[in-house]
Amino acid sequence: MAIQQKVNKEALLRMETKLISMLDLKSQYESIKHEVEQALKEILETGHFVLGANVEKLEREIAEYHNVKHAVSLASGTDALHLSLRALGIKEGDEVITSPFTFIATAEAIAYVGATPVFADIDSTTFNIDPLKIREKITPRTRAIIPVHLFGLSADMKEIMDIAREHDLKVIEDCAQAFGAKYNGMPVGSIGDTGCFSFYPSKNLGAYGDGGIMITNITDIYEKVRLLRNHGTTAPYKHNFIGYNSRLDEIQAAILRIKLRRIDEYNRRRGELARLYTSLVSNVVQCPAELSDRIHVYHQYTIRSLRRREIENALHDNHISSVVYYPVPLHLQEAFKYLGYKEGDFPESESSSREVLSLPIYPELEERNVRFIAETILNTFR
């Protein structure tokens, strides 16, 4: 019995080492283990767990990284979007334009404040919201736009900011997948009214649990979100309005500060691996757009092909993970049925949902594995 168990365990281990996963947080942890353990030890010993020195330092460091005045850390990226909208005064009866080809949190945040999500279709090569489609959706009720920098590539911010100025709209950047990405030399999140980031563990800058941050140059908005995240507390046990509990804890902040020192290196490595993929498979599938005015940080390396199913199967047979982000665009989700959209409303988002496939990419991924994945894809076309 004991021997059998041992054999099974070894067989399992072999399988695990063979499998190329979407993400490998364990090997990243190995490389920063000493610093993380030291930081944890200090926090455990001080006994100060919420809204302390690490949170303050992280906020200052992230504001500096983005060259903006303010940053407020929060419990999640979803909260960063929600509290941005609330602080900007978006409310029931207002319309907010966003992409239907994103994670549900983007549109959920709009619904949280009682406003109506209005979708505008994407550009088929960048997977980001198409500014021309935004223009078609503007009504007298439109109050804001939430561009999503999907997969780590900035949306077309010049066009979006021009539209916003013309129509007096707020711009809330969903940067959950794009920490460190740039548009015309500017870090994403620093261009619109607010920039919203997620520290979910799988994100480019990921904590060891949930977390998020909002950045802004608008001091009023900063102060409002700071109060909202902590029950509207203006002085101990004095509450001027109803807020939330949306704080980042010291442990997560300390871990994020360690990773923040390495984020550019992590992103640079993602870029190298992405360009290797592209050099190997661009003859057979659509590869991510590399645009001269943007720095892509490859949260995902997402290919597009009419033969997605075959590619998926071949990867699976070779113990390589791959994921479809996103299989159902938001306008076709049950949760947004009340908005009244139907199939055919956003053809680019719908065809993307049928044809995209994200491949493993993370800083620790080995080049030989990229080559093996590429070879597996090429084989399906031979």
Ligand X SMILES: *Cc1c(COP(=O)(O)O)cnc(C)c1O
Q: Which is nearer to ligand X, 288 or 370 (CB)?
A: 288
Q: Per CB under 6 A, does 198 bind ligand X? A: yes
Give the chain's end-to-end CA distance (angstroms, integer). 46
SS3 231: coil
Asked if 182 contacts 154 with a C-beta cutoff of 8 angstroms, the reply is: yes
Q: Per CB under 6 A, does 250 bind ligand X? A: no
The one segment of 60-68, 170-178, 250-258, 371-379 that binds ligand X by CB under 6 A: 170-178
The one segment of 4-12, 70-78, 117-125, 225-233 that binds ligand X by CB under 6 A: 70-78
Cα–Cα nearest to 373, from 358, 363, 359, 362: 359
Phi, psi at residue 50, to the nearest 5°? Answer: -130, 135
Distance (Å) of CA 126 to CA 113, 129, 131, 136: 29, 8, 12, 19
Choosing from 187, 195, 206, 212, the residue that interacts with ligand X (CB under 6 A) is 212
Choosing from 65, 103, 266, 362, the residue that interacts with ligand X (CB under 6 A) is 103
The one segment of 55-63, 72-80, 110-118, 308-316 that binds ligand X by CB under 6 A: 72-80
142 forms bridges with which residues in the sheet?
95
The structure tokens 């080809």 sit at 101
State the nearest-atom distance from the C-beta of 282 to ligand X, in Å: 25
Q: Per CB under 6 A, does 174 bind ligand X? A: yes
Q: Per CB under 6 A, does 204 bind ligand X? A: no
Choosing from 54, 76, 84, 352, the residue that interacts with ligand X (CB under 6 A) is 76
State the nearest-atom distance from the C-beta of 243 to ligand X, in Å: 18
> Under rule CB under 6 A, how many of the chain's residues touch ligand X?
15
Q: Per CB under 6 A, does 176 bind ligand X? A: yes
DSSP string over 147-198? -B-GGG----HHHHHHHHHHHT-EEEEE-TT-TT-EETTEETTSSSSEEEEE
State the nearest-atom distance from the C-beta of 180 to ligand X, in Å: 15
Give the count of beta carbons closer than 10 Å to the beta carbon of residue 61: 16
Choosing from 62, 85, 90, 105, the residue that interacts with ligand X (CB under 6 A) is 105
Distance (Å, whole) CA 257 – CA 40: 12
Choosing from 200, 298, 346, 362, the residue that interacts with ligand X (CB under 6 A) is 200
- Residues of this chain that interact with ligand X (CB under 6 A) are 76-78, 102-103, 105-106, 148, 174, 176-177, 198, 200, 210, 212
